[in-house]
Structure 1
Amino acid sequence: MKSILNRRNAALSGAPSRILAVAHDAATQRAAASVAASRIPQSAPEATVAPPETPGEVESRAEPAAGAAVPPEGAGGPRPVSTLHPVPVMPAHLNGRPVQIADGAAFEALHAADELMTFRVYRCFAYTVSLFFHPPTLGYFVALHHESVLWRALKANDLDAAGSAFHLMQEQATRLADGETRRVQLVAQNAELTRQIEESEAQAERLRVDLQRHAEQEQTVTGRQHQVRKEVAQLEAQRIAAQAQLNKAHRALHQLKVATSEGVPHLHAR
């Protein structure tokens, strides 16, 4: 025991330590080997086997000398080995959120047994995204259905992770339904264009009928006007002839009156 304490005091007083640092690479190992070889006396013909160390010697070797200066990082001496500590590792694919693929058969069994509560539902044409809560396990499920058939299901342990998965599936369903959206829009636009074409054709037909009726009426009126002018000319000729005959009759009547008047005696008034 006394020898152990003496060795410990000698180590604390600045005596050279026999601790060899562990080399990290091949260059450091060669440097450490050269330093160890330089410490061996030249007169020693062969290496001697060191006696087994006592627990005190192991303890004195494990403790650094008090007041010993730590060599700088760029110095040529060996670098100390830092102590390793356990670090918790999170799988990269989870990104800090515990979301995993759910068993489709188990999910459908829970859904068929009415053990899931619906929190959110998003429908876009044939795609449906649902967020369910399973009260017995405090778990959440996010499912994507296509035409009421389960396509994909995810399982999460908290609402935030389930909400993020729900939004991702919602965006995916929206992208998948872009073609359906465009198809419905084009069908509606084509129907509107067809209706406008039919209305335009009907209006054009009505205008053609109106134009044809106008042309027929114009032709009829033109013919009637010609006939009326002809009749007017005839009537005017008849009127002229009748007027001439009437004038002749008036003259004859006047002459008769004159002739009749000549035979009547003149009577003087009293």
Structure 2
Amino acid sequence: MKSILNRRNASLSGGSSRLVAVAHDPVMQRAASCGAVALDPLPPADTSPDAAGEIEPRAEPATGALHEGAPRPVSTLHPVPVMPAHLNGRPVQIADGAAFEALHAAEELLTFRVYRCFAYTVSLFFHPPTLGYFVALHQETVLWRALKANDLDAAGSAFHLMQEQATRLADGETRRVQLVAQNAELTRLIEESEAQAERLRVDLQRHAEQEQMVTGRQHQVRKEVAQLEAQRIAAQAQLNKAHRALHQLKVATSEGVPHLHMR
């Protein structure tokens, strides 16, 4: 009986020292302080004679294994709840495209907002039976993306983000339309300028032709005036000659008439 008690006291004192040494191991302290390894709590020490014999073989290999680089005990894995994707702190989930299209085809969705930018359309829908909201992005008439939200604020945030995305996607289309319009305006201005230049060329040509005609007409008029002036001079000379001849005839006729004296 006395030998059993001595063995029990020796085992308890030796087991306690070994357990303290394991607890103060630097590796285990760093793991415990960082919270990287979650060890299960140790069971309460058993003071029975049978348990005293089991403490010594457990403590010695553990201490040696830690110092020799053996793999440490793996912590117990606990299930972590998976949270849905969040947008600005609001829950937003990716919607099932087929289910959304079925609801849309059945006209079970109410349209709250619509944003259209060229081939891209962003729509905010409300589903009254489930009090849920859907935000959809269509390219032409084909569904591209669909999100589901539980409240209007989250759906509105998703709508604004998709609106910005659609605007960015349509930047090329916007620039293309602007360039087409600018090129059309430049083409119209070029055509108007060319037409105006052609009208000016026609006016200049007509002016030159008219000036040439006027110059020719003036030359012809001056020539005719000179001829008429010559004819007038000749006619005036002939008239003067005729007047002189007539005067002479009158004088000759007057000489043949007797001179009568008045009483």
Under a length normalisation based on structure 1, what TM-score does the superposition of the two structures give?
A: 0.66
Alignment of 1:143 onto 2:153: no
In structure 2, what is the Cα distance between the partners aligned to 1:97 and 1:172? 19
C-alpha distance in 1, partners of 2:221/2:181? 59
Q: Where does residue 98 of structure 2 map in the other structure?
A: 105
Alignment match, 1:12: none
Q: 1:193 to 1:141 in 2, by over 3 A?
A: same
Partner of 1:125: 118
User: Which segments of structure 1 move beyond 4 Å, counting only runs of 4 or more?
Assistant: 49-52, 88-93
Change (3 A) 1:239 1:181: same
Cα distance in structure 2, aligned partners of 1:169 and 1:130: 9
Structure 2 matches for 1:55-204, cutoff 5 A? 91=83, 93-94=85-86, 95-204=88-197
Distance 1:100 1:211, change over 3 A: same
Structure 1: 5+ residue stretches without partners: 1-19, 30-48, 53-87
1:140–1:162: 8 Å Cα contact kept in structure 2? yes
Instruction: List runs of 5+ in structure 2 lacking aligned partners.
Output: 1-19, 30-44, 49-79
- Please name the residue that 1:221 is paired with: 214
- Which one has a larger percent helix, Structure 1 or Structure 2? 2
Asked if 2 retains the 8 angstrom alpha-carbon contact of 1:98 and 1:156, the reply is: yes
SS of corresponding position for 1:128: strand
Determine the C-alpha separation between the residues in 2 that align with 1:182 and 1:106: 36
Please give the per-residue CA displacement for 1:193-221, whole angstroms capped at 9, x wherever unaligned.
11111111111111111111111111111
Identify the residue that residue 36 of structure 2 maps to in structure 1.
none
Tell whether the 8 Å contact from 1:90 to 1:96 is kept in structure 2 after alignment: no
Does the aligned pair in 2 maintain the 1:100–1:154 contact within 8 Å?
A: yes
Partner AA of 1:265 in structure 2:
P
SS of alignment partner, residue 211 of structure 2 = helix
The answer (yes or no) to whether the contact 1:131–1:143 under 8 Å persists in 2 is yes
**Partner of 1:55 in structure 2?**
none
- CA separation in 1, counterparts of 2:131 and 2:218? 98
Give the TM-score normalised by structure 2.
0.68
Task: Give 1:130 shift.
Answer: 0.3
Give the deviation of 1:185 after TM superposition. Answer: 0.9
- 1:42 — aligned with what? none
- Cα displacement (A) at 1:91: 4.5
Alignment length, in residue pairs?
A: 196
Matched, 1:210 2:208: no
One-letter identity of the residue aligned with 2:26: A
